[in-house]
Copies of this chain bind each other. A is one copy, B any other.
Amino acid sequence: MEKVNCDILIVGDGPAGGVSAVTARMNYPEKKILVVREFEEQLVPCAIPYVFGETLGSTDKNIVPCGARVDMGISSMVAKVLDLDINTKVAYTTASAISFDKLIFATGSKPFIHDSLRHALVLDGVFTIAKNKEIIDKAKNYLEDKQNVVVVGTGFIGVEMAVELATSGKNVTIVGGSKHILKGSFDSEIAAQAEEILVSKGVVFIGSDRVVEVIDNNGDNIVNGVKLKSGIVIDADVVILATGYKPNTELAQKVGVSLGHYGGIWVDEYMRTENHDIFAVGDCSARRTFLTKVPSKVMLASTSSAEGRVAGSSLYGLKYIKGFTGTIAIFSTMIGDIAFSSVGVSEDEAQEAGVDVVIGSFSGMNRHPASIPDAQKQFVKLIVTRNGGQILGGQIVGGSETGEMINIIGLMIETGLSVYKARSMQVATHPMLTAAPTNYPIVMAAIKAIKQIEQRQK
């Protein structure tokens, strides 16, 4: 067995592992850093749906480039870490014994399949959206000459898959247990807008129902369809299970590292496990919400990257005090040519959490004047505490600028900004790029929230 030495061992090479490595390199230039990953090529996780349609068209166009890292002097190894001795600080792969000083778990997540659907995984034509080139290539090839697809799950991967497949000519049905798609991220009136576009792309959406059986009529191990709780049977050549992800903690559990809620590795604010030589980042770590610090199921590459930055600079003492805390669940997606984005708590979540909130919303155009050729509608909703007017959440529907606008609201949440400050914020506006300065939608939504507060005070 080959012996390998390093100072910092990172197990896993998704966004969290990669950012941890680069950050560690910048902060500890003298340390030897080794990243161990299972596969030669790593997919960009959030772009996986787009390899199925014409946007990317192939997994070859969705590979994370690693060249820069080699130049930075970060070593890589393609192997699977099978075991660890935390006391002697050695990790074992089939061929190597890797001694380390600090270890970062960045083992990511894997598809979550409800027990009642596990039987389906053996059938040809049933796929999960694993972050694995081989599986995705197989699914894509299989889909090539098939027509009828059922997507199970109405989270953002499910919805993006459905739109991409429908746009490339398949008959797609998407089934979810909630009344609306993208539950948790969008309130129902906004999800309804997204559903309209979904339907306009030819996707059949069935909500408030669930798949109870994946059907193999002929007993030939080839899927024929799905049966829903309501009794509906849908014929299908391909069934895609997009029912979420769960932390991949196989290795951590094996060696007795404590887990948190929802099965992620327990970590403190600086991504340290109880043993300060062992860290965990990304989807395999346990997250908390920013508002109540209760466990969160949110899995986002952007959150993982932020965690990698914290871990990568906290390996040998806390070099930087962490700026913000708890996941604000900030994300965007495209449905057709409309962008939907969300951050913080939704109105529904605020109510469930017992927060006394008011809503400020504003509808306008993303260009000014509205006669600018590519002008689109733009809608902003802010969720704001009634007492003090602190911004807790936001949702935006609009053009592609929405992807960056939500980051403005994200920063407002992270800095604890109130609508009273937001109302006089200065913004850049330009006819071809933004809404009018007189009607800048985040400011207008803040003003609307203030009015709500004042009305309720009367």
Contacts and interface: CB of A to CB of B under 8 A. Distances in A.
A352 to B, nearest CB: 22
A148 B30 CA distance: 62
A62 B369 contact: yes
B428 A371 contact: no
A250 interface: no
B408 A369 contact: no
Nearest to A326: B426
Interface in A312-361: 320-324, 327-328, 330-334, 339, 341, 343
A234 interface: no
Interface in A4-49: 15, 18-19, 22-23, 26, 44, 46-47
A75 interface: no
A304 interface: yes
Contacts of A440: 302, 305
Q: How many copies does the complex hold?
A: 2
Interface string A389-420: 00000000000111111111011101101001
Given A61-B371, A420-B323, A433-B334, A425 B410 contact: yes
A162 to B, nearest CB: 16
Contacts of A18: 438
A438 B303 contact: no
A409 B309 CA distance: 20
Contacts of A334: 430, 432-433
Nearest to A434: B403
A310 to B, nearest CB: 6
A44 B408 contact: no
B433 A309 contact: no
Nearest to A369: B44
Contacts of A113: none
Contacts of A368: 44, 46-47
A266 interface: no
A427 B400 contact: no
Contacts of A50: 372, 431-432
Contacts of A430: 46, 331-334, 339, 403
A276 interface: no
Contact of A404 (B23, B323, B405): B405
A377 interface: no
Given A62-B371, A404-B405, A341 B47 contact: no
Contacts of A341: 428
A118 interface: no
A309 B443 contact: yes
Contact of A372 (B55, B402, B436): B55
B309 A46 contact: no
Nearest to A329: B426
A302 B428 contact: yes
A164 B320 CA distance: 48
A442 to B, nearest CB: 8
A367 to B, nearest CB: 9
A422 interface: yes
A182 to B, nearest CB: 13
B424 A309 contact: yes
Given A306-B424, A411-B425, A301 B332 contact: no
Given A302-B440, A321-B420, 11 more contacts: A50-B432, A302-B426, A302-B428, A304-B437, A306-B427, A309-B447, A322-B424, A323-B421, A334-B430, A404-B407, A411-B411
20 contacts: A22-B438, A47-B372, A55-B373, A61-B369, A301-B436, A306-B424, A306-B427, A308-B438, A309-B423, A320-B424, A323-B420, A327-B426, A334-B432, A339-B432, A339-B433, A401-B404, A403-B430, A403-B432, A407-B408, A415-B417
